Structure 1
Amino acid sequence: MVEVTVTPRCSLADRPVRVRVRGLRPGQAVTLRARLADEQGEEFQSRAFFRASQTGEVDPGCHPALGGSYSGVWPMGLFWFLQPNTPFRRLIKRDVAGSPFLVHLEVFDGIELGSQPRERPLASCRAERWYMSRGVQRVPVREGRVRGALFLPAGAGPFPGVIDLFGGAGGLIEFRAGLLASRGFAALALAFFAYDDLPQMLAQLDLSYFEEAAEMLLRHPKVRGPGLGVVGVSKGAEVALSMATFLPQVVATVWINGTSSLHGNPLVYKDDLLIPPIPYCIERILFTELGAMDNSAIFSDPRDPAYSISAIPTQKIRGKVLFVVGEADRSFNSKLFAELAMARMPPENCRLLSYPGAGHLIEPPGSPLCSISSIRGSPRPLVWGGEAQPHAKAQEHSWQEIVRFLELHLGSVIPTKL
């Protein structure tokens, strides 16, 4: 009898699992398919073609895929190379606390190319991919002006604190904070526009709002001070670098594919600070054959002396910064921005991880590459860039390094189990 298994069946979305098929004929050609439906009902699929071993087994961690969504030996290939049935959809977990992604794994006889296989599967099973481990608590945050969600690990604590920021689409995105809490951090997923009663549009970056969030997090009885970490991607990386520069509470910063100058929105702080932005050159927007917007050319050269007043003065940073760059980022010239920021810093205060072939949306390894997607506020889908296999490797490696960096500079943690 043919059997397909995934071990462990329940796991955190950033952790590896093992997929195995047994009971096949030696040399039998088969298709392994993974599929899941997100919270909007959009379906994502991947498939890989294999030839069974002499013992009638297929193990993607040992046996190379001969084609399909990927090729070669990729133990997590069926998960990492999921793609939407509907173009321009991004796989993102919204309800972090309530439910996992349910991934259906099926094995078919022969090569199945279509999204709807012709035959019934020889065997199937289901995997649960969670974004919070057992015991992690999600606490909605609505204190003063601060809006977000705080994820607290199981136990008495205190735990090192981390603020988690996303980018230009706004709203509240929680999946990375849930995974960080599962690693032992008290993680605040922080919204800064287009959420609850916050402004719907981003007019300026008010540093006092982020200072209020940092002070609130450090006051929490389960959060260990005196310093905290910040993780930010895209516009959130610009914010994170500004926080590291001007807020003494921030001692460890992870900057992922962002800028090192203010762009589009000024940075203000009470009456003490105003950094004007470099304006976007929207007339330089390019359009792909698919009708998506390519924003890679809308940024003026930040090295132009006229824009020096817009640079974030990273020479003032006293904490540590980890710069994470996807060299195939089609949103920003992220490597240039990282190098400009690092040139103003003491070498011992910064480190660069730069990944050829990786795109803009570098996320924990449970997230498949999203190279183009629709986002709130954009009239057309945006191009993020990236190539599937190097991007997957970049996510796996960078996530390990991000967690180690935060542990090193905020103190060791004891991760919880699912």
Structure 2
Amino acid sequence: MVGLSVSPEISLVDEPVKIQAWGLPPNQVITLGAWLKDEKGHIFQSRAFYKTDMEGKVDLDKSPSTGGDFHGICPMGLFWALKPTTPFRRLIKRDVMGSPFLVHLELYSSLELNVPEDLPAATKVIKRWYSAPGVQRILIREGQVRGALFLPPGEGPFPGVVDMFGGIGGLLEFRSSLLASRGFASLALAFFAYDDLPSSLGEMDLKYFEEAAQFLCDHPKVSSDGVGVVATCKGAEMALAMASYLPQVAATVCINGTNAVNDNNLVYGDLLIKAIPYKMERILSTDFLSLSFTNVMNDPRKPEFKDSILPLEKARGPILFMVGEKDQQYNSLFFAREAKSRAEKYGKKDVYVQCYPGAGHLIEPPGSPLCPLSKTPNLLLPVTWGGELLAHCRAQETSWKELQEFLRTNIRCSRRNKL
């Protein structure tokens, strides 16, 4: 009897699973496939070919893929390689609390090069959740602050984290719900294109981000000693600004961001930091089919832009730059090295650069497939993100552990005095 097992069948999306097949002819090429349907009804799928051993078994922890969407030993390859059947879609979980992704795994006892007409020899449907049991989601509409607060089960206090993304806008919650599942009180913070916030990016007021950080510090289940900030792309730029000017920020993780204010002026009370302008005429990538900002951004080392560089040497706590070497959206490694060089010039020794070979722009929690390019709101052409499949997804596993360790090490979590 042909069998297919997946363990565990219910898990968080950042957890690995073990896949095995048995009951097959020895030394035979078989096909393993995976697919899921996102919340908008779009299909994402992957496929790989394996050769059974002398006992007619395949174990993805030991058996190499001989072809398909990836090659070699890669236990999570079927998840990493999920790609849209409709081009330029990005897999994003919106309802992080109410439902998991249902991943359908299928085993065919032969080499299936086309869409198979025969029924699979074995199937499994597994559930991949974005929040652990007991995690609480609270929609936030306090003062100016708009977002969603995720709290781990228990009384706390928990280390607090402000979590932001970039130019896509709106409210993305999947990283915050996973951080809460790992013991952090995480505020998924929107800063445009959501609720009554501005519909597009304009002048950035640091007071808004200060209010968000203070809201988190004041929460009774969050440590009041300072919060962390985790952010990607344009959000990482704001995270660095928060670290540079706000005493509430105890530790900062900038994922593929810059070291200066770009395109949108930054204000904070009487302070005005003029943005470095984009060279928008250089936005097209070399194939003229997608957009990249790599060549759009000016060099912050030019004398006329010196006042736009963020003074990270003023930051209270450590700063970690996480950089994809194959980022095709920003020249992130250059910006990170410039930031570290400035910090060292001013005597700040706790700025770190972690570069991941082969990783692209969208470094997300483990289990997220590589998205090399996708459509975004308000742009006609897809945006190029970059990255090599296996290297990028391995970087996501490594960086997720390093991110959590960095935050736990550098955010103090003392108990509040009871009144």
Length-normalised TM-score, structure 2 = 0.96
Counterpart residue number, 2:411:
410
Structure 2 residue 16 is matched with structure 1 residue 37: no
Counterpart residue number, 1:85:
85
Counterpart residue number, 1:314:
312
CA apart distance, 1:348:
2.9
User: Greater shift after overlay, 221-230 or 280-289?
Assistant: 280-289
CA distance in 2, matches of 1:19, 1:104: 12
**SS of 1:159 mapped into structure 2:** coil
Which residues of 2 match residues 248-259 of structure 1 at below 5 A?
A: 248-259=247-258
- Residue identity opposite 2:402 in structure 1: E
Counterpart residue number, 2:15:
15
User: Greater shift after overlay, 371-380 or 190-199?
Assistant: 371-380
- Residue identity opposite 1:196 in structure 2: D
- Residue identity opposite 2:31 in structure 1: T
Output one character per residue of 1:29-73: Cα deviation in whole Å (capped at 9) or x when no partner.
110001001001110111110011122211111100001010000
Counterpart residue number, 1:294:
292
Structure 2 residue 238 is matched with structure 1 residue 239: yes
Counterpart residue number, 1:167:
166
Output one character per residue of 1:236-287: Cα deviation in whole Å (capped at 9) or x when no partner.
100100000000110110000011110110110122x111000010011224
CA apart distance, 1:412:
7.5
Contact 1:277 1:310 in 2 (8 A): yes
CA apart distance, 1:305:
1.1
**SS of 2:338 mapped into structure 1:** helix
User: Greater shift after overlay, 170-179 or 372-381?
Assistant: 372-381
Which residues of 2 match residues 318-333 of structure 1 at below 5 A?
A: 318-333=316-331
**SS of 1:217 mapped into structure 2:** helix
Counterpart residue number, 1:131:
130
Output one character per residue of 1:332-351: Cα deviation in whole Å (capped at 9) or x when no partner.
10001101111121453111
Counterpart residue number, 1:398:
399
CA distance in 2, matches of 1:315, 1:19: 48
CA apart distance, 1:289:
3.8
Counterpart residue number, 1:6:
6
Contact 2:164 2:231 in 1 (8 A): yes
CA apart distance, 1:28:
2.1
CA distance in 1, matches of 2:233, 2:75: 29
User: Greater shift after overlay, 236-245 or 17-26?
Assistant: 17-26
Contact 1:112 1:118 in 2 (8 A): no
Contact 2:313 2:348 in 1 (8 A): no
Q: 1:27 to 1:328 in 2, by over 3 A?
A: same
**SS of 2:402 mapped into structure 1:** helix
User: Greater shift after overlay, 122-131 or 339-348?
Assistant: 339-348
Counterpart residue number, 1:120:
119
Counterpart residue number, 2:337:
339
Contact 2:24 2:109 in 1 (8 A): no
Counterpart residue number, 2:417:
none
- Residue identity opposite 2:113 in structure 1: L
Counterpart residue number, 2:266:
267
Counterpart residue number, 2:98:
98
Q: 1:411 to 1:50 in 2, by over 3 A?
A: farther
Structure 2 residue 211 is matched with structure 1 residue 206: no
CA apart distance, 1:290:
6.9
CA apart distance, 1:218:
1.0
Contact 2:157 2:413 in 1 (8 A): no
Counterpart residue number, 1:416:
none
Contact 1:318 1:349 in 2 (8 A): no
CA distance in 1, matches of 2:377, 2:107: 37
Structure 2 residue 74 is matched with structure 1 residue 62: no
CA distance in 2, matches of 1:401, 1:367: 17
CA distance in 2, matches of 1:352, 1:368: 24
**Aligned residues with identical type, % of pairs:** 55
**SS of 1:218 mapped into structure 2:** helix
**SS of 1:389 mapped into structure 2:** helix
Q: 1:296 to 1:405 in 2, by over 3 A?
A: same
**SS of 1:224 mapped into structure 2:** coil
Contact 2:225 2:412 in 1 (8 A): no
Contact 2:10 2:127 in 1 (8 A): yes
Which residues of 2 match residues 220-235 of structure 1 at below 5 A?
A: 220-235=219-234
CA distance in 1, matches of 2:141, 2:29: 55
CA distance in 2, matches of 1:166, 1:61: 33
